[in-house]
Structure 1
Amino acid sequence: MKNGTDDLILDYCNNITNLGGGLDPEVLAYWYKRVEDKAKEVCSKELGEKIVFTQNRILWMKFEIKLSKRAVPLVLETIRDFMPLMPYATALYFEKVYQLILDEFNRDYV
């Protein structure tokens, strides 16, 4: 017989288990591809060619980001648009990616 405490503990355990799934390399690659495709869709073809995300084939959690400075605002906006749709852990990961891109962009202008 289950009681309210058992349900609460089970729910808590399921939430913790699901957190790790958001950091799976396949999940990250999926969202990187979505961001890349959407950013390319909203800009010119010439600028779209300068938006490239590449997953490292040895270190699956490592991605290389190559962006034209003109493409940075589009990519940042796209990341922001997709974050509410991402699993929690993935959204936290992309929050950090967003901040790193923004810091690098701002570093060049200061």
Structure 2
Amino acid sequence: MVVYPETPIDYASGKIISGVKNLREGLDPDILAYWYKRVEDRSREVVPPHLKDKIHFQQDRILWMKFKMDVSKRAVPYVMQVIEEYIPMMPYSTGLYFRKVQEILTDEMNKELR
């Protein structure tokens, strides 16, 4: 049995609620950890052999949405490439999160050049 909203307001509120739920789920710490692990593993596959040990991501034990990224400057372009490769597969809000990660990595690399 399909239930249809009685009013346009019910329909709109249902759409908003489902949209917020989807956005919130994409920022779940377990989902972020999953994508960090995928990015870390794939980055280690594509970097030259001497850089494989220079890529480490670690989830904060208290702030579950915070991750420590320990990446060699020489490995950053590979990590950025892998993030770009995975963003289309991620939930929308997770993709936005990783866009911000890319921005932070770029800013950190630019600081080193100044």
TM-score, with structure 1 as normaliser: 0.90
Tell me the equivalent position of 2:28: 24
Give the 3-state SS of the residue equivalent to 1:69 in structure 2. Answer: coil
Q: Deviation at 1:44? A: 2.4
| Greater displacement, 100-109 / 11-20 | 11-20
Which residue of 1, 5, 17 corresponds with 1:2? Answer: 5
1:99 aligns to 2:103 (yes or no): yes
Query: What pairs up with 1:43-58 in 2 under 5 angstroms?
Result: 43-58=47-62
1:64 maps to which residue?
A: 68
What letter corresponds to residue 41 of structure 2 in structure 1?
Answer: D
Identity of aligned residues (%): 47
Measure how far apart 1:3 and its partner are.
5.2
| Matched length | 110
- Alignment partner, residue 75 of structure 1: 79
| Alpha-carbon shift at residue 8 of structure 1 (Å) | 4.2
Amino acid at match of 1:49: D
DSSP-derived class of the 1:100 partner: helix
* Alignment gaps of 5+ in structure 1: none
TM-score normalized with structure 2 length: 0.88
Aligned mates of 1:9, 1:105 — CA distance in 2: 43
Q: 3-state SS of the aligned residue for 1:65?
A: strand
User: Aligned partner of 1:13: which letter?
Assistant: I
- The structure whose Rg is larger is 2
CA change 1:46–1:15 in 2 (3 A) is same
